[in-house]
Structure 1
């Protein structure tokens, strides 16, 4: 069982263009769709497609359009009532897969509403294997909210607390790592990893997996037990205290990158609950992300649509010394 928490959910509206986006011009869409979104919801959707039991928790009233969309999909959910209305995010996708996102800020939560969200997560965390905290935080909530939430769960459940995976960025992730509250996994993309580590920039990390692994090592020092960092079309790296891996996906025709990173996290969790090795879990993460990118809009793949055995795994150096990377690197198929 996995619980996902989407503290700042959104209705995701995807607008499809048959050509490149042209600023300042009238353009005709080839299609549009709306669905419940936010990182945690996307992870829950991908887990359900893989038939893995999960519960999506989010702040929204029962009659909010967002809640109705979640219910219509059949996702198992626990909405925590608030007075505000869930935001709408827009994604404009071009024919080559390029995606431009326009995100609304969302409602402001009161102290009582934030406390109710914490209480709901604590109550739902009994017997859970992973607790996934994903996305940005709503207005009115302090950047330390994730640390507060994790500590509340651990105070209640003690040694029976679930493992925690965090997919966030900027102030919420910085505040969590600065709090001293350890988490089992963080899942940044290359640009978030660059900001977090202070090493280079996102484009450079995507092009240099060893440098990305070194940057992930900085995150380990700051309070994460493991890092799963997605590097766009280049693949992903996994780093923990003893292991440093780079996964290269099979050739993929990209149709939309919306939610691909969330599907990668779902693939990793799906493998981890079966006791998979880091190599297999990383392969499944990249296979899930690649399969999601090959689907239109924000579609999520079923396990049958993923190809983890075609993902190539390279072992990288676990130090910051690039001179050792070639000598210590080995290659193997994920199988």
Structure 2
């Protein structure tokens, strides 16, 4: 079972538009409303793959009730932590050329009592978990060390931890040696404090995160592919994608694919890439089913193209 923890979930509204023109009336050609947040998307992707998951979520107000309702309709088990503040609502504008503009609300502030209830719920639900995926930003009220505490408690209980966050929360958690961290290129550059211009730069940065405590690093390099660096070696992979429709949740789908395939080694990397590639070809934050995957489009190698310049260098 894969347990996901999303401390700052959201209600996500995605509008497909021909182009985004500031100051003009823009008419959407399509729209979706989905339960959102990185861990929520991981649970949705795990469920779409036919695997069991439980999503731990602090939810409040009408948006929170709709998130719970939408997840229930998708057959996803929710361990709900009631909070006084309303769950945040986010907006994504997906243009026809693949450019995505996201507006993310800050979300509610959790009281001391709500924070304690969230930790207790995580403790109760983690007893049967093979993997615990801690995902996304921390809401107001939670200290940057919160994920570090969760990692320490999970390891004490025998569970493996996958961490997808950034900034101080990531750096704090590294000291507790999460089993895998999943930064994108920008987050990886931020963690090491320098720009990443090539695949080789990304490899060196991932190795530094391992030296700081991460047992494995699964790094997304956008259109250029993904890296996996762990005790067994370093692998690089990519997939051919015909048309990018929306990249909302694509990284979360990749993490789900990685964990579903065991969470280590080149086969798990290939699964991560296949899930991410399928996700970007679907509307909004729709998660791919096995029928959407194209494993034949994926290539994984240990011959790392270190001199390849990144399409979108990360600063």
**TM-score of the pair, normalised by structure 2:** 0.92
CA distance in 2, matches of 1:123, 1:87: 25
Does the 8 Å CA contact 1:118/1:152 hold for their aligned counterparts? no
Is 2:11 the counterpart of 1:11?
Answer: yes
The aligned residue for residue 112 of structure 2 is: 111
The aligned residue for residue 331 of structure 1 is: none
Is 2:235 the counterpart of 1:238?
Answer: no
Q: Within 5 Å, give how 1:18-37 maps onto structure 2.
A: 18=18, 20-37=19-36
Q: 1:182 aligns with which of 177, 183, 187?
A: 177
Does the 8 Å CA contact 1:229/1:238 hold for their aligned counterparts? yes
Structure 1: gaps spanning 5 or more residues? 326-335
Structure number with the higher strand fraction is: 2
* Aligned-residue CA RMSD (Å): 1.9
Is 2:214 the counterpart of 1:224?
Answer: yes
Q: Within 5 Å, give how 1:1-335 maps onto structure 2.
A: 1-18=1-18, 20-61=19-60, 64-155=65-156, 157=157, 161-177=158-174, 180-201=175-196, 204=197, 208-272=198-262, 278-316=265-303
Aligned length: 306
SS at match of 2:3: strand
Classify 1:130/1:82 alpha carbon distance in 2 versus 1 (closer, same or farther; 3 Å): same
CA distance in 2, matches of 1:28, 1:317: 44
Does the 8 Å CA contact 2:236/2:304 hold for their aligned counterparts? no
Higher relative contact order by CA 8 Å / sep ≥ 6: 1 or 2? 2
Structure 1 runs of 4+ with >4 Å offset: none
Does the 8 Å CA contact 2:61/2:84 hold for their aligned counterparts? no
The aligned residue for residue 333 of structure 1 is: none
CA distance in 2, matches of 1:251, 1:164: 30
CA distance in 2, matches of 1:304, 1:216: 32
Does the 8 Å CA contact 2:61/2:87 hold for their aligned counterparts? no
* Offset of residue 224 of structure 1: 0.4
Q: Could you list the per-position Cα deviations for residues 91-150 of structure 1 after superposition, in whole angstroms to 9, with x for gaps in the alignment?
A: 110001110110000011011111111111111111311000000011111111111122
SS at match of 1:287: helix
Structure 2: gaps spanning 5 or more residues? 309-315
* Offset of residue 61 of structure 1: 4.1
The aligned residue for residue 332 of structure 1 is: none
CA distance in 2, matches of 1:154, 1:294: 36
Q: Could you list the per-position Cα deviations for residues 52-76 of structure 1 after superposition, in whole angstroms to 9, with x for gaps in the alignment?
A: 1110111014863322222233211
Does the 8 Å CA contact 2:133/2:161 hold for their aligned counterparts? yes
**TM-score of the pair, normalised by structure 1:** 0.87
CA distance in 1, matches of 2:153, 2:257: 27
CA distance in 1, matches of 2:241, 2:88: 35
Does the 8 Å CA contact 1:210/1:316 hold for their aligned counterparts? no
CA distance in 1, matches of 2:261, 2:149: 28
